[in-house]
Amino acid sequence: MTNVKVSVVQKARYGVLFLPILWLFFSLWGVVNESSERFSFPAIQEVATPPSTWELVNIIYPSFMTLWVSVKILLAIKNHSVISSELKSGFALFLGLTIMAINSYFHLGQFLFYVGIALTDIAAIIVIVTLFQRKPFGGTMLYHKDVQVRRV
């Protein structure tokens, strides 16, 4: 006669980490590309034009989302509740995107581009750390429970 042993083990789904790690590689590529030497053509002059409607939408949307996430964080502080990692990551992501959008259209300086990239990288790192702590992030988890049945 055989005995049946049932055990529950946690298995990792590393595919969940694909997007945050891809974002970190993409931002590294962006920093290298931005810091590399730029070639200028003296015969071509840039003409300063005001931002188009689409460019303004690209500035307004992340700005609005940054404001919305900030209000949600302030309400959580007011209610003495825990601020979720989704809110922290969302704030860093949208603030970084806002800074990069404003910098790309108004050319305020190369340093602001690096600040924006760093903030979006912080958002990806928050996602990775939260998932490695075996906590859910936005409905996804790195580890899932798997039931194994063995005959002994």
pLDDT at 42 (0 to 100): 66
Whether residue 5 has pLDDT greater than 90: no
- 75 or 58, which is more confident: 75
pLDDT at 139 (0 to 100): 86
Domain ranges of the chain: 4-36+53-151
| Structure tokens that stand for 61 in this block | 């949307």
Chain segment 79-132, per-residue pLDDT in tens: 999 999 999 999 999 999 999 988 887 777 788 889 999 999 999 999 999 999
Cα torsion through 76, 79, 80, 82, rounded to 10: -30
Chain segment 28-54, per-residue pLDDT in tens: 998 888 877 666 666 666 666 777 788
Amino acid letter, 51: P
pTM to 2 decimal places: 0.81
pLDDT at 60 (0 to 100): 92
Chain segment 6-24, per-residue pLDDT in tens: 888 788 888 889 999 999 9
Angle among Cα 106, 112, 117 to the nearest 5 degrees reads 115
Spatial separation of the C-alpha atoms in residues 89 and 122, rounded to whole Å: 7
What is the distance between the terminal CA atoms of the chain, rounded to a whole angstrom? Answer: 9
pLDDT at 46 (0 to 100): 65
